Amino acid sequence: MSEKDFTDVVNSIREQDARFAKGAYYFVRQALDHTLKHFKLDQSANNHHVTGKELLEGIREFALDQYGPMSKTLLEAWNIKHCRDFGDIVFHLVDAGVLGKTDNDSPEDFAEGYNFQDAFEGPFLPPSRQNGPDHSQN
């Protein structure tokens, strides 16, 4: 990450595209740090490039760890409703020079992620309602 003041970067991004709340950018940055620590511990990688798929999993784990059953509600309050939204946030930060990318990285890497209801509400459902075809049943 660059030495730019993150608050100034986020404010500048939001002047151009205000879809996502400020908190969304701070959350993604923290989730990236969480993901990098996870890979460093698990794979002894000193300079591991995190793929979109890996970051999505790190985001999911970090959200569940930090916010538990409120994760989906908080993400929606920040206007994050699909995995592609995480990609848009990441690439706003890439374009601002805060994050790096490889030539193979794109926002579309985040499009084929997970279903938010399954990812953020499923772990808190009783076993009889997990992975069922209809989560809306009582």
Written as one string, the DSSP assignment of 31-98 is HHHHHHHHHHHHH--SSPPPPHHHHHHHHHHHHHHHHGGGHHHHHHHTT--SHHHHHHHHHHHHHTTS
Domain residues of the chain, as ranges? 6-124
Q: Give percent above pLDDT 90 in the chain.
A: 78
Q: What is the pLDDT of residues 50-99, one digit of tens each?
A: 999 999 999 999 999 999 999 999 999 999 999 999 999 999 999 999 99
Predicted TM-score (pTM) of this structure:
0.85
pLDDT score at 131 = 60
pLDDT score at 132 = 55
Amino acid letter, 136? S
**Highest averaged pLDDT of the listed ranges 35-39, 57-61, 101-105, 133-137:** 57-61
Residues 25, 13: contact at Cβ < 8 Å?
yes
pLDDT score at 40 = 66
State the pLDDT confidence band at 49, using cuts at 50, 70 and 90.
Answer: confident
